[in-house]
């Protein structure tokens, strides 16, 4: 959880909101305000076939762009590369990574 500093005035306004909304905690204040403005968490609105909180999902493969330091060949591979596709050298540098 991230901690932020707020002014005394802001803190007083939050506590007043908490009382007005009859909330048990500031988290409840946030939830009630989000609900009031139709901004509920996406996990709560998940429909059938969508990903829900706690559900395991297979992520797409990672694509890396390599530069062979031996021959200068530039290539992309799903996952990891052990050697250059052109000369077979193991002196590779990762230039970019895509998810």
pLDDT in tens, 24-80: 887 888 788 878 777 765 555 555 566 667 777 777 778 889 999 999 999 988 888
Does the structure show a pLDDT above 60 at 20?
yes
Distance CA 46, CA 11 (A): 33
The pLDDT, as a whole number, for residue 90 is 93
C-beta neighbour count of 17 within 10 angstroms: 15
Q: What pTM value is reported for the model? A: 0.42
Q: Which residues pair with 65 in a beta bridge?
A: 76, 96
Domain ranges of the chain: 1-55, 63-98
The answer to whether 76 touches 60, Cβ cutoff 8 Å, is no
* The listed CATH number (1.10.1040.10, 2.20.28.10, 1.20.1050.10, 2.60.40.790) that belongs to domain 63-98: 2.20.28.10
């Amino acid at each position: 959880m991230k901690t932020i500093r707020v002014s005394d005035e802001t803190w007083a306004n939050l506590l007043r909101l908490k009382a007005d909304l009859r909330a048990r905690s500031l988290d409840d204040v946030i939830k009630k305000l989000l609900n009031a403005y139709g901004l509920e968490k996406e996990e709560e609105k998940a429909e059938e076939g969508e990903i829900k909180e706690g559900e395991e999902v297979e992520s797409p493969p990672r694509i890396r762009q390599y530069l062979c330091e031996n021959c200068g060949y530039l290539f992309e591979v799903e996952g990891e590369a052990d050697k250059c596709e052109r000369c077979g050298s193991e002196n590779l540098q990762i230039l970019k990574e895509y998810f």
